[in-house]
Amino acid sequence: MAPVMSRVMSRPQPRTALVVLACVAACVAPLVLPDLTFFMRMVMAAIVVTGLSMLMGYSGQASLGQGAFVAAGALTVAVGTTRFELPPLVALLAAPLVAAGFAALVGVPLLRLHGHYLAFGTLALLLMVQAAMSTFDVLGGALGVSGIPPLGVGDRVVVGQLPYVYLALGCLGLVLLLSHRTVHSRFGRGIQALAGSQTAAESAGVPVNRSKVTIFALSAGYAGLAGGLSAFFTPYVSPDSFPALESFTYVIMAVVGGLGTIWGGVVGAVIVSVLLQVLNTVSSQPGLPPTAAPIMQYATYGALLVLALLFMPRGVVPSVDAGVGRLLERARVEAPG
């Protein structure tokens, strides 16, 4: 993808217009939507998936256990505020750092694995984090951690859901900007070379292991940030808050949106979340059996994943991008000047 920012100055781009439109829509939506919880969950998923999409798309590694790092961030806030009485803001800032640190620590041995092995290794990590959370009382034990204070500085605390939603949107913006900067940096080019061929990248002077651990830690940091936000939004953290299915959902969102694109994570998160919300509404209609909801959820997840991978393997964003590009090209050829 060409650097968007430099071209903005010369003439208006359809892509820039889309981005502006998306920003406006994101800022207005919380004011008109009746269900802020749904919107908040979607924004947090978008933060996690942006990191996962970067990890999967640019470094060619899959993580089926991204929830482990969401949990690390949420636990930082939950345990930090209730047990160590950290100021909420400090806990929130610490959440992505702790998650990234945790990822860097486990990443050193874990990232020696590739492909299937890493996918299963990260899934195993998630299950072990869950087990540790329910075993150790410091991490909440089987009951979980409750009584997380609201976010605020000193006596001024946040009331209601709306400020959290805007905070999350701000974080999403930061995360997108950071991803953009990362991908177009020297480090980002090294990571992309690594995905193509590890040996070739190594011979070209890319520090392979360090780069892999860094990108893993960065994507974990995003997940931790989302986890920290979620712990304030829903002030209760337990092992059941991070089911494996949720981590699979992140993968589905990343794949549907388009791996290795900055906006793919957001687009995937929005498409999958909205679809699920619609199905949820449909399946909770009176007259349907109570099993309708899980059946629809699983069927949608599965069908989406299979169909997206088989028929739109590059995801929505690159496919649409290419389609629009072709249209523009044709328009320019037909009407020169």
Partner 1 sequence: MSEFVTYLVTGIALGSSFALIGSGFVVVHRVTCVVNFAQGSLAVLGAMLSASLLAGRLPHVVGEAVTVVVCGVVGVLVGVIAIGRRGTPPLISLIVTLGVSMVFSAAIIWLWGQDPVSPPGLDGFATILGAEVERQRLLVLVVTLVAFAALSLFFSRTYVGKALTASASNPFAARLVGIDVRRMGLVAFGLSGILGGMAGVLIAPSNALSFYSDLPMALGGFAAAVFGGLVSPLRTLVGGLGLGVAGQLTAGYLNGSYQTEVALLLMIVIMIARSRSFAHEEAK
Site residues, partner 1 (CB under 8 A)? 60, 62, 64, 109-110, 112-117, 119-121, 123-125, 127-128, 131, 135, 244, 248, 251-252, 255, 291, 294-299, 301-306, 309-310, 313
Q: Would residue 160 be called left, alpha or beta, if left means φ above 0 and alpha means ψ between -120 and 50 degrees?
A: left
Is 71:128 a contact under the CB 8 Å cutoff? no
CB of 160 to partner 1, least distance (A): 36
Name the nearest CA neighbour of 317 among 328, 307, 308: 308
Instruction: Return the number of the residue (124 or 158) whose C-beta is nearest partner 1.
Output: 124
What is the closest distance, in whole angstroms, from the C-beta atom of residue 236 to partner 1 in the complex?
23
Neighbours of 194 (CB within 10 A): 25
The Cα–Cα gap between 220 and 214 comes to 10
Strands 156-157 and 236-237: unpaired
Smallest separation (angstroms) from partner 1 to the CB of 212: 13
Contact 169, 27 (CB under 8 A): yes
Q: H or E segment at 193?
A: helix 186-196
Residue pair 64/252 in contact by the 8 Å Cβ criterion: no
Closer CB to partner 1, 26 or 56, in the complex: 56
How many CB atoms sit inside 10 A of residue 150's CB?
A: 15
Cβ-based nearer residue to partner 1, 294 or 325: 294
Ramachandran quadrant class, 140 (left: phi over 0; alpha: psi -120 to 50; beta: rest): left
Helix (H, G, I), strand (E, B) or coil at 238: coil
| In the complex, least distance from residue 55 CB atom to partner 1, rounded to whole angstroms | 13
CB 48 within 8 A of CB 70: yes
CB of 194 vs partner 1, minimal distance in Å: 14
* CB of 242 or CB of 301, closer to partner 1: 301
**Nearer CB in complex with partner 1: 162/303:** 303
Question: Nearer to partner 1 by C-beta: 14 or 302?
Answer: 302
C-beta of 178 vs 293, nearer to partner 1: 293
For partner 1, which is the closer residue by CB, 251 or 262? 251
Q: Tell me the closest approach of the beta carbon of residue 244 to partner 1, in angstroms.
A: 6
Q: Nearer to partner 1 by C-beta: 161 or 283?
A: 283
Strands of the chain (E only): list them. 145-146, 152-153, 156-157, 236-237
In whole angstroms, the minimum distance from the beta carbon of 224 to partner 1 comes to 21
CB of 219 to partner 1, least distance (A): 17
- Range 51-87 burial, b when 16+ CB lie within 10 A, else e: bbbbbbbbbbbbbbbbbbbbbbbbbbbbbbbbeeebe
What minimum distance in Å lies between the beta carbon of 309 and partner 1? 5
